[in-house]
Amino acid sequence: MSAPTLHVTLISETFPPEINGVATTLGRLSEGLRQRGHQVDLVRPRQATDPAHAGDEQLLCRGWPVPGYPGLQWGQVSMHKLLRRWRRQRPDVLYIATEGPLGLSALRAARRLGIAVVSGFHTNFQQYTSEYGLGLLTRLLTHYLRWFHRRTHTTLVPSVSQRLELERRGFDNLTLMARGVDSQLFNPGRRNKALRDQWGLENEDIALLYVGRLAAEKNLAVLQQCLHAAQQQYPLRCIKLIVVGDGPQRSALQLQLPEAVFCGAQRGEALAEHYASGDIFLFPSLTETFGNVVLEALASGLGVVAYDQAAAAQHIRHGHSGALAMPGDVEAFIDACNWLVEDAEALRRVRLNARQHASRQGWPAIIEQFENHLREACRQPQQLNTAPQAATLVIKSGSSAPRG
């Protein structure tokens, strides 16, 4: 006998068509659950592209802009509105992907009604604070996040390194659930000569590619260091930096890197063509919970250079399917890039192995794992929380932290 279908509600302050790793992952998970026959509702902030009436499967709430992140929002909805909605049509389980005011309201309402809750740790906000000059908030924010996730059935984390980091900070009941990649969309066959012509590159020239948010926490100064080191080491080679993405640091980076090609944010097949038209993918971020772009680059057959953590640590074998440096070792990162620039045969071999590995990392198995975690939460007895006042002080002391 087949297992009963679930009524799942996802709570997130970002969702497609917004461009970021959290939105991409949630879009895949929600569509995968629907394809498996489950009812999936969504609670999120209203986006500029949303119609006036979003349908019964979505609750769109007011959003407040996130400082320094144009296009991203904190969501705000009253707990009482959620209580009314979920008393009328009770979900079996919630998945809370973001811990801001919207996620907090959903958590409190679920505990009041005894609804099962699974949470996800998608963003290292406690690490971002230092990048934005808010280092004093790190301890407070970590305390709030730990408090938040302890009140859910389990917290899904995407990488082994992320789980170890959270355990070191006192988080518990963590469950590993990795990410997948669409290897039909992202594949080397989408390499586009016309696009490389626009970049001013011949077939034998080297395109150093970066895809992602252009923001302080991405450690983007390393891109300039890699480019200049490679150009000085190999002055007879044509080596260009191609930057795909947008964010608060774009203007500053364009001033610092006038010779680089800035392509802006790309989606779908256009994004896949940009990946496949590169040669070496540089990913210097040190704050990732996973890094979906690493898998997308591997699937596109690129030689990936990254720090040995998160997705790179799980999916790259150094010297075989990519090149890794110890976290924070900029010289080793630059050396890894130069190795792939210098050794054409090594780059060819690494790109082939990268594609072979990534082609086995599909989404269906991840979505099945996700469904199993939701079912397990539903099977556990839920305790009604009819007196949340005891937690109010903790909530109030931490709830302002995510607003920055």
Residue 396 shares a structural domain with residue 334: no
**Is 193 part of any domain?**
yes
Q: What is the pLDDT of residue 318?
A: 97
| pLDDT tens digits, one per residue of 208-234 | 999 999 998 899 999 999 999 999 999
Residue 384 shares a structural domain with residue 296: no
- What kind and span of H or E run contains 320? none
3-state secondary structure of 3: coil
Q: What is the pLDDT of residue 67?
A: 66
Q: Average pLDDT of 385-398?
A: 39
CA distance 59 to 11: 10
**Is 1 part of any domain?**
no
Does the structure show a pLDDT above 60 at 396?
Answer: no
Apex 191 CA angle, 243 and 229, nearest 5: 40
Q: What is the pLDDT of residue 291?
A: 92
Q: What is the DSSP letter of 100?
A: S
Classify 268 in phi/psi space as left (phi over 0), alpha (psi -120 to 50) or beta. left
| pLDDT tens digits, one per residue of 268-300 | 999 999 999 999 999 999 989 899 999 999 999
Does the structure show a pLDDT above 90 at 394?
Answer: no
3-state secondary structure of 330: helix
pTM value surpassing 0.75: yes
Which residue range forms the structural domain that includes residue 111?
7-180+363-403
Q: What is the pLDDT of residue 56?
A: 74
Q: What is the pLDDT of residue 404?
A: 30
Q: Average pLDDT of 138-150?
A: 91
> Of residues 107 and 129, which shows the higher confidence score?
107
> Of residues 305 and 17, which shows the higher confidence score?
305
Residue 43 shares a structural domain with residue 105: yes
Q: Average pLDDT of 164-175?
A: 94
Residue 219 shares a structural domain with residue 346: yes
**Is 125 part of any domain?**
yes
Residue 132 shares a structural domain with residue 240: no
Residue 201 shares a structural domain with residue 325: yes
Tell me what the pLDDT averaged over the chain comes to. Answer: 89
**Is 207 part of any domain?**
yes
Closest CA to 40 of 27, 22, 53: 27
**Is 257 part of any domain?**
yes
Apex 119 CA angle, 115 and 120, nearest 5: 160
Q: What is the pLDDT of residue 389?
A: 40
Axis crossing angle, helix 101-113 with helix 389-399, rounded to the nearest 10: 170
Closest CA to 73 of 60, 86, 54: 60
Count of domains observed in the chain: 2
Residue 221 shares a structural domain with residue 302: yes
**Is 274 part of any domain?**
yes
Q: What is the pLDDT of residue 374?
A: 98
- Quick one: CA torsion of 145, 178, 123, 397, rounded to 10 degrees? -10
> Of residues 380 and 87, which shows the higher confidence score?
87
Distances (CA, A) of 115 to 26, 89, 112: 20, 12, 8
Residue 99 shares a structural domain with residue 156: yes
Are 86 and 113 a contacting pair, CB within 8 Å? yes
Distances (CA, A) of 285 to 26, 43, 136, 158, 309: 21, 30, 22, 16, 10
Q: What is the pLDDT of residue 395?
A: 32
Does the structure show a pLDDT above 90 at 49?
Answer: no
Look at strands 69-76 and 58-66 and give their pairing: antiparallel
CA distance 45 to 61: 5
Residue 312 shares a structural domain with residue 210: yes
| pLDDT tens digits, one per residue of 65-86 | 776 666 667 788 889 999 999 9
**Is 2 part of any domain?**
no
Residue 63 shares a structural domain with residue 41: yes
Does the structure show a pLDDT above 80 at 41?
Answer: yes
Q: What is the DSSP letter of 5?
A: P
Residue 229 shares a structural domain with residue 350: yes
Q: What is the pLDDT of residue 150?
A: 96
Residue 206 sits in a domain whose CATH number is: 3.40.50.2000
Residue 367 shares a structural domain with residue 303: no
